[in-house]
Structure 1
Amino acid sequence: MTQQGAALQTYNNELVKCIEELNFRRDELNKQIQYEEEEKTRLQHDIRVLTEKLNRVSESLDRRLATRNELEKTVAETEAAYMKILESSQTLLSVLKKETGNLSKATEPRNSKDRLPL
């Protein structure tokens, strides 16, 4: 029986070692799980923060784009109005020069008879 007892003791020792190895692996796996759960929580928080920031930046960008579009429209309208003013000024200057020339011709004596004595 001692042989059976020795065998039983050997089996028992191996079972204890196997159980200790399984407990060690379980503990290591639990540490990895805990680390990954904490990492997941941190990443979810970062995603929330970044999503909020993205929303704020998108809203600001939309407002700035709308403002820029209004400014571009105002600049285009102002430039068009300015060009009309320039064209009108050029037309006015041409008409004025023509009229001045006509007035000068009308006020010049045509021949020596038309001249008044001094």
Structure 2
Amino acid sequence: EQVVHLCLYHSCFFSGIEELCFKRDELNKQIQQEESEKARLQHDIRVLTEKLSRVNESLAHRLTARAEFDRTIAETEAAYMKILESSQTLLSVLKKETGNLTKAFEPRKDH
């Protein structure tokens, strides 16, 4: 009877060990899957970080170019407004002088 008890004890012991080994193997598979996922995510992060860096460089270049366009446009508009003002002044002077010259060459009416 003691031998039977001992056999049952060993059987239960080995059954318990087998179950623990099985659970450990399942856990190991999950660990490997998560490590693969982690590696994939780290790779994706590196790729996205590089892309972000390139986009930031391009954006900085484009922002600088846009600022240059804005400056050139503002300077050109200001210069054009000065030309318009000068043209208006010149036109006023021309009209005044034309009027003066016309009056100077009109025949005089003596009473």
Instruction: Please indicate the TM-score interval, normalised by the length of the shorter structure.
Output: over 0.9
- Aligned-residue CA RMSD in angstroms? 1.0
Q: Which has the larger radius of gyration?
A: 1
TM-score if structure 1 supplies the norm length? 0.91
Measure the CA separation in 1 of the matches of 2:2 and 2:24: 32
Measure the CA separation in 1 of the matches of 2:48 and 2:87: 57
Matched residue type, 2:77: E
Which runs of 5 or more residues in structure 2 are unaligned? Answer: none
Residue equivalent to 1:75 = 73
Which runs of 5 or more residues in structure 1 are unaligned? Answer: 114-118
Residue equivalent to 1:21 = 19
Residue equivalent to 2:88 = 90
1:1-118 → structure 2 map (5 Å cutoff): 3-112=1-110
Matched residue type, 2:5: A
TM-score if structure 2 supplies the norm length? 0.97
Measure the CA separation in 1 of the matches of 2:83 and 2:108: 39
Measure the CA separation in 2 of the matches of 1:66 and 1:30: 53
SS of equivalent residue, structure 1 residue 109: coil
Measure the CA separation in 2 of the matches of 1:28 and 1:110: 121
- For these two proteins, the number of residue pairs brought into alignment is 111
Identity of aligned residues (%): 69
1:39-89 superposed Cα distances (whole Å, 9 cap, x missing partner): 111011001100000000000000000000000000000000000000000
1:12-35 superposed Cα distances (whole Å, 9 cap, x missing partner): 111011011011011001101110
